[in-house]
Amino acid sequence: MPEISAGDTAWVLVSAALVLLMTAPGLALFYGGMVRAKSTLNMMMMSFGALFVVGIIWVVFGYSVAFGPALDAGSFLGDPSAYFGLNGLLNTSAMALNGGYYPIPATAFIVFQAMFAVITVALISGAIADRARFGTWLVFAAIWVTIVYLPIARAVFYFGDQDANGGGFIATKIGALDFAGGTAVHINAGAAGLALALVLGKRIGFGKMLLRPSNLPLVMIGAGLLWFGWFGFNAGSALGANGLAGVAFVNTISATCAAALGWLLVERLRDGHATSLGAASGIVAGLVAITPACAFVDTAGALSIGVIAGVLTALAVGLKYRFGYDDSLDVVGVHLVGGLVGTILIGFFGTKSVNEFSVDGLFYGGGASQLVKQIQAALIVMIFSFVVTYILGTILSKTIGFRVSKDEELEGVDIVLQAESAYDLVDSSKGSSKGKSA
Amino acid sequence: MKLVTAIVKPFKVEDVKAALQAQGVNGMTVSDAAGYGRQGGHVEVYRGAEYTVDLVPKVRIEALINDSDVAKVVDAIVAAAKTGKIGDGKVWVIPVEDAVRVRTGEHGAEAV
């Protein structure tokens, strides 16, 4: 068992807090500014709500299912009773275990991984903006993280016990590379978003009415906070304050800059203007795409992945109008497409020159074998997430109801669900108060 | 007594206000408005989706004016609001039966 490293522990704890910042308030602002003024608070509450629900599930049984000892030999799930309520891990001596012991406390690894589960769920909410019932969203978050995220996280992120036995099948059997969650987080959330957008249906006025963003400055602030937090997401996935973290950190800058410029270039050529929403979107697209690849590619690879992701996602966000699905805030166009780009391009741009655990891709003399593994992993996660989410969403729709009524949607979900308004810029007296709780 | 209503470009509000004050007009009501005339709207693009924004932001200025002053007040507004480009706005005048100053209860011309 290794000695605890103060530097590694500090970095992983800080990284966990950075990933929390991505969800609340980063993603909440990014999404909240992108919807109409009558849905801003509800949109932000979907991110915060995902945090509350998943945060509890993670410490009760989530961590145990994702990273605990296998339920039985060959099972795709961990035993929920092994670390139920973090039993045996919530003390000062337990060490982080994932295919071997890390020189950090188990608690640091638990909380870091908890924030990954949280943001994956929160990302999905962008696909169903303006029309989902808040209570059903919380129920969905609880069930989805349990039956979709935990098995996928185990398949991708779990490297087995102290002797590296029993690791997740995507990580160890297929041998796909996914450093920080291109598959488990972004392809997963994107495919789930598509399924829910189809289950809930289009917003009233989709493709006809003015459904433009209400507050682009919030979107820009959110994108900046996401980027800041993403250093914890990517570089923190090194689980140590070391060279690997440094590689991931640098690539998280270069790919993202390239993606933002790629997106703006598409806009300038196609629409005539480089927009602020395009810049914010390009930032997130680049972050998504470099997530799986950030520790495995050199600067040429990172810049290439970034610009390819920026251009492809900028084109992909138009697909929803062509095919008629209302993925309101482009979870599919940005996260599914960006996740696929990053995951698959490792097969081209991976290089051992940056990291001995990397693999040389097609462009670095390594042949196509890693590319095939990357495509397999991407497809498995995409199909599993889409199918299970579609079934879960349909069941929730038919039983407790997932969508607000037409009148409620027109009135606005902030007033109907939260009984609040995001903005009152004129500060005039428009009502009266009973001076007590209702 | 007449109600003079002017719809003007937002950046012309200060000029119109100054012109009205120069004419001795002591009170007015100003509100944000949206609408369209011959100017039409403009196109905005969000993630490649085009939206035609038909309703252009304008400012509505309303003032009660005594009959004898109406002509010169309207002229002053038009002079102040004019840029010569499409979308400068419109001014119209309608008769008002009565007006009351809330604080004093004065009626008619006294209340203007």
CA nearest neighbour of A16 among A185, A228, A236: A236
The three-state secondary structure class of B49 is strand
Inter-chain touch B47–A278, beta carbons under 8 Å: yes
| Interacting residues of A170 by C-beta distance below 8 A, sequence separation 6+ | A155, A156, A176, A178, A183, A377, A380, A381
Which chain B residue's Cα is nearest to A212? B46
Best mutation site among A34, A214, A271, A325 for testing chain B: the one with the most B CBs within 10 Å? A271
- Give A212 to chain B, closest Cα distance, Å: 7
Inter-chain touch A267–B49, beta carbons under 8 Å: no
pLDDT band at residue B98 under the 50/70/90 scheme: very high
Asked whether residue B111 carries a pLDDT value surpassing 90, the answer given is no
Best mutation site among B42, B45, B47 for testing chain A: the one with the most A CBs within 10 Å? B47
pLDDT tens-place string over residues B27-74: 999 999 998 888 778 889 999 888 888 888 899 999 999 999 999 999
| Interacting residues of A225 by C-beta distance below 8 A, sequence separation 6+ | A21, A22, A25, A26, A29, A30
10-residue mean pLDDT profile of chain A (438 residues): values are: 95 98 98 97 98 98 97 90 97 96 98 98 98 98 98 97 94 96 98 98 91 96 98 98 98 98 97 97 98 98 98 96 96 98 98 95 95 98 98 98 97 95 72 73
Asked whether residue B103 carries a pLDDT value surpassing 60, the answer given is yes
Q: What value does the mean pLDDT take over residues B6-33?
A: 94
Inter-chain touch B48–A271, beta carbons under 8 Å: yes
Class of A7-402 per CATH? Answer: mainly alpha
- Give A261 to chain B, closest Cα distance, Å: 14
- Give kind and range of the element (H or E) at residue B8: strand B2-8
- Give kind and range of the element (H or E) at residue B6: strand B2-8
| Interacting residues of A64 by C-beta distance below 8 A, sequence separation 6+ | A78, A79, A80, A81, A82, A83, A84
Which chain A residue's Cα is nearest to B55? A210
pTM for the whole thing?
Answer: 0.91
Number of cross-chain residue pairs from A and B with Cβ atoms under 8 Å apart: 30
Query: Does B55 contact chain A (CB < 8 Å)?
Result: no
| Structural domain B2-111, CATH architecture | 2-Layer Sandwich (3.30)
- Give A410 to chain B, closest Cα distance, Å: 19
Reading the block at residue A291, the tokens are 């997530």
Half-sphere exposure of A186 (CA within 13 A, CB side): 32
Query: Does A213 contact chain B (CB < 8 Å)?
Result: yes
Domain ranges of chain B: 2-111
Which chain B residue's Cα is nearest to A279? B47
Q: What is the ipTM of this complex?
A: 0.84
Does a cis peptide bond (omega within 30 degrees of 0) precede residue A25? Answer: yes
The three-state secondary structure class of B31 is strand
CA nearest neighbour of A190 among A134, A120, A143: A120
- Give A278 to chain B, closest Cα distance, Å: 6
pLDDT of residue B36: 86
What distance in Å separates the CA atoms of residue A398 and residue A394, rounded to the nearest whole number?
Answer: 6
Query: Does B54 contact chain A (CB < 8 Å)?
Result: no
